């Protein structure tokens, strides 16, 4: 499937949202009153981003500098500006999309896969490359791939991936665990110093690795639309523009909405809903068998691959033989691999727990380093209000539900929390989604014509 077509769609989430709605033990009159109230609240009333201005990244910025910008401003995502002179003056011409850590990790692992595919060809000479450090990254990240994966991969692309003198002297084993022994400093040499990775811009990543469509809403839209987009439709952020103006005025995130809900303490509707136990609200949504975890002795690259494959933003780290929670890793943590090669230049067989311990011993007092703190947890009988307080105070996207032995039995996400307060009136978002898809299709057609 063409990646542009695959990404330029709103995900179908009816099953999730309908299940949540059917399990909520809330009076229908209260749900209808809340929905009507949110429909009357304009987006313009939502607080601006904490810095007072939305951070925007030019499309010709390198991927490494992009990660630096996200990390320095302590944000997870940012709009990307079209660097082409003479671009149309509307938002479709001004912005290319949104870059976030999920797109970065997709790019890292996909480019690692290029080298892995070269190995799977069976002959480095036939593939046009040497089986040196690049192959090690690919195999460690994704495992040896089958012959079918070679389809569509040109020798020129693979050759470019190892330009700069990397050779086959090291001899790489063809399985993930042993290949990791050979990573070393070459991981960073490839991703940060060699072409085509070094000159890869954020524009190329946004255009090929986005998980969700980029369609801003206007200041006069309703907050109900925003809440539905951030819950049912799985968007992680919603850009806000002024009517008839292309500049993004605000950037509403799931975390921002949950913090806003927390500030509603003292209002009857919030106090009533937040006092309910999670089970009365259909949470945790996933059964114990559906919760995706990684083991503490898994490779850190395997943990990131797990998030990529399942399109999730974080995973709990558990200890064998049971599922005792010992930590968590989020997709945002890929920044440490890219920005702190001094910590991980001797990559070796770096496990998840070693990754966390390395950061814990180096950045013990960093307020932004959630890796070195116990992840937020709650019991199955916890109230929604306590979950909101825990998530909002930690600036995290999820809380893990554990039993008395600290074994993971569920997870509650920001999306789940928002879903507790709303339901969608029949056909409410139909016109918005139809308009959004029309704009996306128009933008995609323009892009194809230029290519």
Q: What is the pLDDT of residues 121-156, one digit of tens each?
A: 433 333 343 333 333 333 333 333 333 332 222 233
For residue 79, which of 53, 105, 40 has the smallest C-alpha distance?
53
Q: What is the pLDDT of residues 159-200, one digit of tens each?
A: 333 332 332 333 333 333 333 334 345 545 555 666 666 778
Position 437 pLDDT exceeds 90: no
For residue 102, which of 313, 256, 292 has the smallest C-alpha distance?
313
Given this model, what pLDDT does residue 63 score?
85
Residue 180: burial class (beta carbons within 10 Å; 0-12, 13-18, 19+): buried
Q: How much is the average pLDDT of 99-128?
A: 57
> Any idea what DSSP says for residue 249?
E
CA distance 156 to 154: 5
Query: Can you tell me whether residue 406 is helix, strand or coil?
Result: coil
pTM of the model: 0.78
Cβ atoms of 223 and 86 within 8 Å: the answer is no
Reported as a pLDDT band with limits 50, 70 and 90, residue 320 is confident
Q: What is the pLDDT of residues 203-236, one digit of tens each?
A: 988 887 766 678 789 999 999 999 999 998 888 8
Given this model, what pLDDT does residue 361 score?
76
Position 28 pLDDT exceeds 90: no
Cβ atoms of 106 and 212 within 8 Å: the answer is no
Q: What is the pLDDT of residues 278-302, one digit of tens each?
A: 999 989 988 888 899 999 999 888 8
Range of lowest pLDDT (160-174, 342-356, 363-377, 405-419): 160-174
Reported as a pLDDT band with limits 50, 70 and 90, residue 346 is low
Q: Is the dihedral of CA 66, 72, 77, 78 positive or negative?
A: negative
CA distance 63 to 107: 9
Reported as a pLDDT band with limits 50, 70 and 90, residue 118 is very low
Of residues 63 and 406, more confidently modeled = 406
Q: What is the pLDDT of residues 247-269, one digit of tens each?
A: 999 999 999 999 999 999 999 99
Residues near 286 by Cβ (< 8 Å), separated by ≥ 6? 410, 411
Per the omega criterion (within 30 degrees of 0), is the bond before 196 cis?
Answer: yes
Cα 134 to Cα 65, 139, 298: the distances in Å are 22, 9, 21
């Amino acid at each position: 499937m063409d990646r542009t077509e695959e990404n330029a769609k709103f995900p179908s989430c009816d099953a999730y949202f309908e299940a949540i709605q059917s399990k909520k033990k809330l009076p229908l009159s209260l749900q209808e009153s809340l929905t009507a109230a949110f429909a009357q609240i304009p987006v313009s009333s939502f607080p601006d981003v904490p810095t007072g201005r939305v951070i925007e990244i030019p499309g010709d910025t390198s991927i490494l500098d992009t990660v630096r910008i996200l990390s320095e401003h302590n944000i997870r995502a940012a709009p990307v500006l079209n660097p082409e002179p003479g671009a149309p003056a509307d938002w479709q011409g001004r912005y290319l999309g949104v870059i976030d850590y999920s797109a970065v990790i997709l790019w890292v692992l996909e480019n690692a896969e290029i080298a892995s595919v070269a190995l799977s060809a069976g002959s480095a000479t036939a593939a046009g490359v040497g089986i040196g450090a690049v192959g090690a990254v690919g195999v460690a990240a994704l495992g040896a791939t089958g012959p079918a994966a070679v389809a569509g991969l040109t020798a020129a692309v693979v050759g470019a991936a190892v330009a700069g003198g990397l050779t086959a002297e090291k001899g790489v084993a063809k399985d993930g665990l042993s290949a990791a022994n050979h990573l070393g400093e070459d991981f960073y040499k490839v991703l940060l110093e060699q072409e085509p990775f070094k000159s890869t811009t954020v524009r190329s990543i946004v255009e090929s690795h986005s998980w969700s469509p980029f369609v801003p809403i206007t200041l006069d839209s309703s907050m109900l639309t925003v809440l539905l987009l951030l819950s049912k439709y799985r968007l992680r952020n919603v850009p806000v523009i002024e009517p008839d103006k292309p500049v993004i005025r605000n950037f509403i995130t799931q975390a921002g909405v949950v913090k806003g809900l927390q500030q509603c303490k003292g209002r009857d509707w919030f106090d009533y809903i937040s006092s309910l136990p999670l089970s009365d609200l259909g949470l945790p949504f996933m059964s114990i068998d559906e919760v995706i975890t990684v083991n503490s002795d898994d490779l850190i690259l395997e943990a990131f691959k797990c998030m990529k494959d399942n399109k999730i933003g974080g995973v709990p780290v558990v200890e064998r033989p049971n599922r005792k929670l010992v930590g968590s890793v989020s997709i945002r943590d890929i920044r440490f691999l890219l920005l702190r090669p001094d910590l991980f230049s001797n990559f070796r067989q770096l496990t998840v727990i070693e990754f966390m311990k390395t950061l814990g011993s180096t950045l013990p007092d960093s307020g932004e380093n959630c890796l070195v703190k116990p992840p937020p947890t709650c019991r199955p009988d916890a109230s929604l209000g306590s979950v909101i307080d825990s998530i909002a105070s930690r600036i995290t996207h999820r809380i893990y539900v554990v039993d008395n032995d600290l074994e993971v039995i569920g997870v509650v996400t920001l999306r789940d929390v928002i879903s507790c307060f709303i339901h969608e009136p029949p056909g409410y978002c139909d016109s918005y989604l139809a308009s959004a898809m029309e704009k996306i299709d128009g933008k995609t057609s323009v892009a194809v014509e230029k290519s």
